[in-house]
């Protein structure tokens, strides 16, 4: 009885763009998990600051 050779894939590293992508995704996940949660008051304060900055920019442009 003849045995067929087992086909195996070559063990090569992932293409450079894939390894870079995994590093970017890993870093984004670490930042998202380690960042402290924002309270509703923090979100409202940030929105108010942005609105004030927009109003100041509008006053400068008019």
Percent helix / strand / coil, the chain, rounded to 5: 65, 0, 35
Contact 13, 19 (CB under 8 A): yes
What per-residue confidence (pLDDT) applies to 16?
65
First to last CA, the chain: 90
What per-residue confidence (pLDDT) applies to 49?
98
Write out the chain's pLDDT in tens, 62 residues: 566 667 766 666 666 667 788 889 999 999 888 888 889 999 999 999 999 999 999 999 98
- The model's pTM: 0.45
| H or E element that contains 3 | none
Give me the torsion for CA of 12, 13, 18, 23, rounded to 10°. Answer: 160
What per-residue confidence (pLDDT) applies to 37?
86
What per-residue confidence (pLDDT) applies to 18?
74
């Amino acid at each position: 009885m003849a045995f067929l050779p087992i086909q195996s894939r070559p063990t090569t590293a992932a293409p450079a763009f894939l390894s870079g992508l995994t590093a970017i995704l890993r870093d984004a996940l670490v930042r998202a998990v380690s960042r402290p949660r924002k309270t509703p008051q923090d979100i409202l304060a940030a929105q108010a600051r942005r609105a004030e900055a927009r109003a100041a920019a509008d006053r400068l442009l008019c």
